[in-house]
Amino acid sequence: MKKNNTIQKFGNRLKIYKDQSESEGRNFVFFLLTGEKYAVCIESVQEIIKPKEITEIPHTPSYLRGVVNLRGKIVPVIDLRMRFGLPGSELTKAARIVVVCCQEQVLGLLVDAVLSVQPIPENKIETTPEMLSGPVASNFFDGIANLDNVIVAIIDLVKTLRKPPKDHQTRTEGLVKVGNE
């Protein structure tokens, strides 16, 4: 069977994806959060960058770290640790922003480190176990992969980037209350 290459345009950049057989599965970007492996489908990833100066925005969800200027475009940056309710951490040299496009919106996902790009065979992806279907598992993940006894949580970007409930904590540090507000 002949394999074809697919060329996709992202802004002024082109990326080439090689077609794969069904047994190879889809390609994913693997990364770390608090020492655990996570993955996001590469089809949503535009690029991976070192963290730049992130400008905080008041009255935004606490997991929205702020915005960065990416070649003249303002890109919101989501701290995935905070979004998943994991303990926070200072940025390290290995930290990266995975720039993704989800439902025509460009966003950055702040992660501890990017590990690799590799396929996950469809038969290795299981639905999230029912016992793990708490707020994080059911709201953020598309499934769990077991790759040579290494568990990888596969992120569902649409679910992860959905707006939080109104009672979600927002960033208000440093703001001055004026009048009766």
Biggest CA-to-CA distance, the chain: 71
- 142 versus 115: the higher-pLDDT residue is 115
User: Could you tell me if residue 170 is inside a domain?
Assistant: no
Count the alpha carbons within 13 Å of 60 in the hemisphere toward its beta carbon. 15
User: Could you tell me if residue 55 is inside a domain?
Assistant: yes
**pLDDT confidence of residue 169:** 54
**pLDDT confidence of residue 25:** 82
User: Could you tell me if residue 177 is inside a domain?
Assistant: no
The answer to whether 41 touches 140, Cβ cutoff 8 Å, is: no
Neighbours of 107 (CB within 10 A): 22
Q: Is 49 a residue whose pLDDT tops 60? A: yes
Q: What average pLDDT does the segment 59-70 reach? A: 93
For the chain, what is the domain count? 1
How much is the pTM? 0.76
Which residue, 89, 98, 116, 117, is CA-closest to 157?
98
Q: Which CATH number belongs to the domain containing residue 114 in this structure?
A: 2.40.50.180
User: Could you tell me if residue 61 is inside a domain?
Assistant: yes
- For 128, the domain range is 5-160
User: Could you tell me if residue 168 is inside a domain?
Assistant: no
User: Could you tell me if residue 112 is inside a domain?
Assistant: yes
Helix residue ranges per DSSP H, the chain: 80-83, 135-140, 157-160
**Lookup result for tokens 């969800």:** 61
User: Could you tell me if residue 179 is inside a domain?
Assistant: no
d(CA 139, CA 33): 17
User: Could you tell me if residue 174 is inside a domain?
Assistant: no
- Reading the block at residue 167, the tokens are 């009672």
Write the DSSP symbol of residue 158: H
pLDDT in tens, 134-159: 555 557 888 899 998 899 999 999 88
